[in-house]
Every structure is written in structure tokens, then in C-alpha cells.
Amino acid sequence: MLRSPGQPFGLYVHIPFCVTRCGYCDFNTYTPAELGGVNPDAWLLALRTELELAAARLDAPTLNTVFVGGGTPSLLGGERLTTLLGMVRDCFALAPDAEITTEANPESTWPEFFDAIRAAGYTRVSLGMQSVAPRVLATLDRVHSPGRATAAAREAMDAGFEHVNLDLIYGTPGESDDDLLRSVEAAIDAGVDHVSAYALVVEDGTALARRVRRGELSAPDGDVLAHRYELADARLTAAGLRWYEVSNWARPGGECRHNLGYWNGGQWWGAGPGAHGYVGATRWWNVKHPNAYAELVAGATLPVAGFEQLGADALHTEDVLLRIRLRQGLPVARLDAAERRRAEALLAGGADDALLVAEGDRLVLTDRGRLLADAVVRTLLG
């Protein structure tokens, strides 16, 4: 498989297990009850086979970033996450300064867990926090207590992790401005160097969507979401966490390099059930169900469900869509003449109205533009 030389290369590993399913989440994840039990060691063996097949396909890439996501990777525990990283090292070379992240659920972490994964070589931990407001956590079906996520973040830092992220969700039905502000404040107080804040999306097929349809909960309101985003942004910025992507804030040096790779058109292998990868101009996605996945790799077959070759138009659309959301902005040179003309309209209107601002040879979203990023993309692409 042909990689573009000289570009950073990443590895994403998907761990498709959770203790329970949060009502809002449509990620490719399964509870042990849904699978009739999980044998984590058998699962790791299947993953090893996929990594070996991947390494054989690629021309010995050095990994700049590894991201173990889910689902709930922390459910594997420190020892198996150590084994997993050992498998990655057996199959690929890791850059000396590689960023190695694992996601974790606050409920399945404890100090010894963080000690073990730090010793194994993980460099970054990303924890699902969502909120500190008990009623918000209840609506989201989160099982952890309000203070557990920030306590876990502190444990991770005590274990030597310099880079720790907390995920927040805003706009949950029943959330107040104060609930959000207290959550942001708690994340800042924890001392982490990265915060992601996502507007709650009511995904089709989730328990949350059914509750909204039945009228038990109201869907998040667009104006409320915009206001909450502004509240979170102001507080995070004042605390020294700067936005570097519309939904992500970091202290200098705390930016997630793996995600920056996705947003800057980088290449990565996606391993595990339902994982997506992108190498050369090929994007592919693995079969979703862990059992189907394990059966395919047991036959020494890459567990691919489908793939597409991205043409110039599709690549350009993605480029604009992802780069415009970054603080570093979209280089004007990446736009064609018609798109540059349309950008002029978005640059007009003064500090309060303009959606874009020109910074050198780049176009950057204004504060207002960040609230309307999707509309900016639609206008630019015409």
C-alpha cells in the first residue's frame, strides 16, 4: 500500500467494549451482555493478527502517534493495555517522541492503572467527564459520580502524565448555564492541559433519541448551544486553554497531535472493529461486530468491510471542511478562484459580523464564525 512519504503517520486502535451504553452514544461499542461475554485475551490475539497484517501491507512506517480509543480502552486494565502497546511495538517502529494516547472512562481507572500505563510508555490520557451536574450525568446515563472524572485526571497527572484531556458535553436537556460553568471550572481546577467540549448530538437509534421522540426530553436548542459554547470558550480562554480546533482547547504544547493529523490530511491505519483508516488516497472501514472481526482475522484476512478511493473533489471538500475548523486556519492557496471570491463575503462585515478573518495567507474563523462553522464551509464550497 502506498503512503505519501514525509508525512506523519498514525495508528488508531478501536476497543469496542463498554460496561454499559450511555444513552446518547452511537459509537461502535458493545456491553458484555450484548456479546454473550468478552474474552479480552482472545480479543487481543485477534488485534495482534490485524496489526501483523497491517505491518505486512505497509512499507515499514514509523508511527508518530498512536491513539487507543473506544468504547472504553481502560476496561482492558493496565496489564492488557501494556500488552497492546507491546504488540504495536513488535509490528511498527515508534518515533522517539511518539504521542501515545489512551481513552479512559473515569469508572474503570485507579492510581495503579495510571502508573502501569505510564510505565508502559503511554504519554497521554483522555477521560470522558461530560459534566459535574448530577442531573446532567443522570440524563446522559453516566454511571460515575460527579467528582470521579477530575479525581481520575489528578491521579493520571500524579502518575506522571503531562498530557491529560477531559471531554465535556454541553446542551444536555435540563442543563443550566451554571451547570456548564461549574463543569468547565472543575476541569480547569483539575489542572489538565486539554479540554474537548462537544455539543450534545441526538444520534438516531440511541436511547436519547427515543426519549426525545416520545417528548420526555427536548432536543438541544441551537441558540442555547451557541450561548453555552461562548460561556465555555470564554472561561477556558481566560484560564490559558486556547482553542486550536472548534471543539478543542489546550495549553501550549498540549494539543492532540493524533487528531491534528486527521485534521491536516495526515494518514493513519485504523485497527479494531469498525475502525476507519486512510492511506494513500484510499479510505477503508473495518467490519463493526467484534465476533465478525475476530473470525476474519483468524483466517488471516484484513477485516475490511468497505473502501473508497478519494478523488480530487472529495479530498478538496475534506481539506476545506477540516482545516477551516483549526485555529491555524485554511491556507488561501488551497481555494480555487470561485471559492476565494465567496470567502470575500465571509471576510466582510467588521469585527462583530465577519465569519472569517485573514491572518497572513490563511483564513481563520472569527468568534462568530466558530458558532457557524458548518455554514462557512457550505458557503466556501458553494
What residues line the site for ligand SAM (CB under 6 A)? 24-25, 27, 69-70, 72, 103, 105, 128, 130, 167, 169, 198, 200-201, 203
Report the distance separating Cα 2 and Cα 197, nearest Å.
35
Residue 368: which of ligand SF4, ligand SAM, none does it interact with, CB under 5 to 8 A by kind?
none
Q: Is 18 in the site for ligand SF4 (CB under 6 A)?
A: yes
- Alpha-helical regions (H) of the chain: 32-35, 40-57, 77-91, 111-120, 134-139, 148-158, 177-190, 207-213, 222-238, 257-263, 290-298, 312-323, 337-347, 350-353, 367-371, 373-381
- What is the strand order of the sheet 330-331 is part of? 330-331, 362-365, 356-359
Q: Which of 8, 10, 16, 70 binds ligand SF4 (CB under 6 A)?
A: 70
- Nearest 5°: CA angle at 197, between 191 and 202? 150
Q: Which residue, 46 or 208, has its beta carbon nearer to ligand SAM?
A: 208
3-state secondary structure of 42: helix
Closest distance to ligand SAM from the beta carbon of 300 (Å) = 29
Tell me how far apart the alpha carbons of residues 184 and 186 are, in angstroms, rounded to a whole number: 5
Residue 21 site contact among ligand SF4, ligand SAM, none (CB < 5 to 8 Å, cut-off depends on kind) = ligand SF4
Instruction: Name residue 41's amino acid.
Output: D
Q: Is residue 75 involved in binding ligand SF4 (CB under 6 A)?
A: no
How far apart are the C-alpha atoms of 169 and 190, rounded to whole Å?
Answer: 17
Q: Which partner from the list ligand SF4, ligand SAM, none does 123 bind, CB cut-off 5 to 8 Å by kind?
A: none
Query: Which position among 61, 78, 128, 220 is part of the footprint of ligand SF4 (CB under 6 A)?
Result: 128
What gap in Å lies between CA 55 and CA 84, rounded to an integer?
Answer: 15
Of 90-109, which residues contact ligand SF4 (CB under 6 A)? Answer: 105
CB of 156 to ligand SF4, least distance (A): 17
Among ligand SF4, ligand SAM, none, partner that 277 touches (CB below 5 to 8 angstroms by kind): none
Residues that bind ligand SF4 (CB under 6 A): 18, 21-22, 25, 27, 29, 70-72, 105, 128
